[in-house]
Structure 1
Amino acid sequence: MIHNLKTATCIVLAFLAVSFVQAQDAKKLLKEVSAKAKSYDNIKIDFKYNLNNTKENVSQDTRGDVTIAGEKYVLNMLGATTMFDGKKMYTISPEDEEVTISNYNPRNDKQITPSKMLTFYENGYRYKMDITQNVKGRKIQFVKLIPIDSNAEIKDILLGIDVQTKHIYKLIQTDANGTKYTLTVNSFKTNQPLSKTLFSFDESKYASDGYYINKLD
């Protein structure tokens, strides 16, 4: 009995020790990724995006691109453009000929926006090392993130990180309802020459083109 108890205790302690080491290794790697992302003046990412829900038999693939400079970004996806200038969010839909303008409140923002994609994991998650994959000669280390908030809509997130460049290669988010969102980076460019007006919204231009300007409080 005593022998079995000692054996069980040793197994538990060994498991906790391994879990702690994995968490520390994951934390170190994520800090390196965050520091690398923040060192750039801007980042341009071309990506592939997949939404999949097997229960609802839904699978959707699309491509897009995003340019990020600090908190500001311009995202092109699903035929629409979303721009954030640091204060307001602009969603431009050519198909509907409509622009929606809303004020940004960080307290109400729980989504992983493009500007937060590279650093969102800094708060609110527990993490540990997951599998390692070889993708066309690149070593991709996955880190699993689990929200600290047990009521979070997100079940878990897998971040695939290029070990050599410290760039995020893949993000796989699984929601509590089983919906899985996968973003795969096709190209990752940094410190690109950007137009000075890239993050500036010209309301008069769209108004003159006949767009309906929908301003939300």
Structure 2
Amino acid sequence: MKKIIKKLNMKKFAITALMVCIGINSLVAQSSSKAKTLLDEVYTKVKSYNNLYIDFKFELDNKTEGIHQETKGNVTIDGDKYVLNYLGATKIFDGHKIYTIIPDNEEVTIENKGADDEGTITPSKMLTFYKDGYNYKWKESKNIKGREIQFIELVPISANAEVTNLLLGIDTQTKHIYSLVENGKNGTATTITVNTMKTNQPLPKNTFVFNKDKYKKLGYYISE
């Protein structure tokens, strides 16, 4: 269990963009076209906002290992910048450096944004990550609590796959993402469900600023 949980660290918050191409025939091409149109509508809607606040539920399941884990989190996003509260820790990206604050350990790690982040769905990419690197397939539609949720399957293009596929649920009325499911090759399924989404909120100027002096005074160990 610990090995699986460790893979879900904050640096690799959601999912790596990988996988195998699917074959193209007339049915798949038509399905892919519908899926891409809806995804483009979602992208346009999300990009129109100045900022986003998302409260989400995170679930991890591995039936073989007998594991089920649920936790909640929230993230504030403004362009590339974000503040993520998840698994009892806070992660801040100010556009240049990533600050991970872990109160239980009284520790802060500071990292430069690196090349290894390019293949990771970071919070700033979590609503637009599907723009590149995937093939799409139109799936079923479900009525969930009075909302029509259209599901689209995403199969990463890279051959070095760690996941089998992703299933993206989209609210067809609001054009917002409702849920994201990753089905891993190791039998682990992770699900992110958006509970609340707020847009264009007034944000304090220091929202994405890390106060190093504050944590020094608290006696935190700071690793750079």
TM-score above 0.5, yes or no: yes
Q: Deviations over 1:17-47 (max 9, x none)?
A: 2211110010111111111111000000111
Partner of 1:45: 54
Structure (1 or 2) with the larger CA radius of gyration = 1
| Structure 2 counterpart of 1:176 | 185
Matches within 5 A, 1:68-107: 68-107=77-116
Please say if 1:122 is aligned against 2:122.
no
Partner residue of 1:61?
70
Residue of structure 1 equivalent to 2:118: 109
Give the 3 Å change call, closer, same or farther, for CA 16–159 of structure 1 in structure 2.
same
Query: Where does structure 1 lack aligned partners over 5 or more consecutive residues?
Result: 1-14
Pair 82,31 (structure 1): closer, same or farther in 2 beyond 3 Å: same
CA shift at 1:108, angstroms?
4.3
Q: Deviations over 1:58-78 (max 9, x none)?
A: 111001111001111101111
Aligned pair count reads: 201
Corresponding residue number in structure 2 for 1:10: none
Identify the match of residue 203 of structure 1 among 190, 200, 212: 212
Match of 2:21 in 1: none
After superposition, the CA RMSD in angstroms is 1.2
> How far did residue 155 of structure 1 move?
1.6
Tell me the equivalent position of 1:5: none
CA distance in 1, matches of 2:205, 2:191: 32
Identity %: 54
TM-score (norm 2): 0.87
Higher alpha-carbon deviation: 47-56 or 101-110 = 101-110
Distance 2:96 2:64 in 1: 38
User: What is the rounded CA distance, in whole Å, between the counterparts of 1:210 and 1:137 in structure 2?
Assistant: 49
Instruction: Give the alignment partner of residue 136 of structure 1, picking from 145, 163, 174.
Output: 145
* Runs of 5+ unmatched residues, structure 2: 1-23
Local SS of the residue matching 2:105: coil
Rounded to whole Å, the distance in 2 between the matches of 1:57 and 1:82 is 29
Deviation of 1:107 after TM superposition, in Å, equals 4.9
In structure 2, distance between residues paired with 1:87 and 1:28: 33
